[in-house]
Chains A and B, each alone.
Chain A
């Protein structure tokens, strides 16, 4: 993006045809827009699942340094807000942000992304039945399905999670 900005500046100075300049400027604007959209969506996801991300190291590591700083500041802000308005006024064992009460077995007040929702995806290369199985069930009892490249499928997200990370499958 910096290179494009410099190119535009050079063109403006050298007085080249304004149309060409506008086209380059347009391309620059378009790139900027995409970059801003991308960063905005990442921030929205962080805000939505902040507590879950802070708890899960694997997810926390996916954030950039600036995003980690943002998450830390934001968690302080919202923690303070919720504690002062509500939590500290509740009886002793019920003051936690993460749990309904101290008798809960796990952090049941932390929202997590739904892994069971169905998504539409397309395979880039051939995917055999073994790669689609649910890891808890054996191959014979689970549904046997293969994915040919280019075909569209409607499938629960958790089945294709690993394939998505490996780049074999794309979400549509």
Chain B
């Protein structure tokens, strides 16, 4: 059945966790490309038939034409599936640069094709060049911290003191404060305990 292998390729993208790469399926890609080649051969053969019968390819609508059309549509569908596979994997490869930095661990490198390895290097270089030109490292400070401070009711602390604790905490961890939500006074927890949600 035409297009089945290409569907398999695309299904590989959806199986598994989001953002995780499976090993590059060289074999299946080559099979799909080969199928495209045979579609093309079939298409040309049918057009030659029509020409030999003296029919105009642009306007005639006979069995040969529709056969050629099916070849063409299967070919373009295969092309779309191939491109979708490459494109989506390229998206994941790019996100790896942001998550893991310039050097990838070996277990991930084995899952990439040679071209993808070159792509990773090229993307990394383009990103580094941009960050150099802007004089700013964009790969740091990618998460923000929401902190809520609970203070024991019996110990009276002011908002300012809560803020001081927060500032100390942030200067220790190096993370920026974006927003301070309320400081609630409750009976339960001890002073100086800060719950941090990332």
Contact residue among A36, A47, A109 (Cβ-Cβ distance under 8 Å from B83)? A109
Q: Which residue of chain B has the shortest Cβ distance to A36 in the bound complex?
A: B138
Interface size on B, residues (CB 8 A): 45
Task: Given A19-B167, A39-B138, check contact A73 B125 (CB 8 Å).
Answer: yes
- Whether the pair A69, B36 counts as a contact (CB closer than 8 A) is no
Whether, in the assembled complex, A67 has its beta carbon less than 8 Å from a beta carbon of chain B, the answer is yes
Q: Is B116 an interface residue (CB 8 A)?
A: yes
Contacting A at CB under 8 A, from B70-106, are: 72, 75-76, 79-80, 82-83, 86-87, 90, 94
The interface centre, meaning the residue of A69, A81, A94 with most chain B CB atoms within 10 A of its CB, is A81
Interface string of A63-96 (1 = CB under 8 A from B): 0001101100110111011101110011110100
Residue A100 lies at the interface, judged by CB distance under 8 Å to chain B: yes
Chain B CB within 8 A of A101 CB:
yes
User: A43 in the interface, Cβ–Cβ < 8 Å?
Assistant: yes
User: Which of the residues B76, B90, B170 comes within 8 Å of A78, measured between beta carbons?
Assistant: B90
Most B C-beta atoms less than 10 A away, residue of A23, A73, A85: A85
Q: Are B86 and A85 neighbours in the complex by a CB distance under 8 Å?
A: yes
Minimum CB–CB distance from B101 to chain A (whole Å) comes to 15
Distance of B93 from chain A, by nearest CB (Å): 9
Interface residue from B29, B76, B119 paired with A81 (Cβ < 8 Å):
B119
A145 contacts chain B at the CB level, 8 A cutoff: no
What's the interface size class on A, roughly? 35 or more
- Distance (Å) between the CB of B149 and the closest chain A CB? 16
A30 to chain B, nearest CB (A): 5
Given contacts A19-B167, A91-B36, contact A86 B76 (CB under 8 A): no
Q: Which A residues touch B33, using CB under 8 A? A: 86, 89-90
Taking CB atoms, residues of chain B closer than 8 Å to A69 are 129-130, 133
Q: In the bound complex, do residue B83 and residue A82 qualify as a contact, i.e. CB atoms below 8 Å apart?
A: yes
**Is B23 interfacial (CB 8 A cutoff)?**
no
Contact B136 A39 (CB under 8 A): yes
Pick the contact of B134 from A39, A74, A92 — CB < 8 Å? Answer: A39
Interface code B5-40, partner A: CB below 8 Å = 1, 0 otherwise?
000000000000000000000000100010011011
**Would you call A4 an interface residue if the criterion is a C-beta within 8 Å of the partner chain's C-beta atoms?**
no
Q: Does A35 contact B (CB under 8 A)?
A: yes
Q: Determine whether A49 belongs to the interface, using a CB cutoff of 8 Å to chain B.
A: no
A130 within 8 A of B: no
A40 within 8 Å of B (CB atoms)? yes
Q: Which residues of A contact B176 (CB under 8 A)?
A: 26, 29-30, 32-33
Q: What are 13 A-B interface contacts by the 8 Å CB criterion?
A: A19-B164, A29-B177, A33-B141, A47-B94, A69-B130, A70-B129, A73-B126, A73-B129, A78-B90, A82-B86, A86-B33, A86-B79, A94-B36
- 3 closest Cβ pairs, A-B complex: A77-B122, A91-B40, A29-B176
Chain B interfacial positions (CB closer than 8 Å to A): 29, 33, 36-37, 39-40, 72, 75-76, 79-80, 82-83, 86-87, 90, 94, 113, 115-116, 118-119, 122-123, 125-127, 129-130, 133-134, 136, 138, 140-142, 144, 164, 167-168, 170-171, 176-178
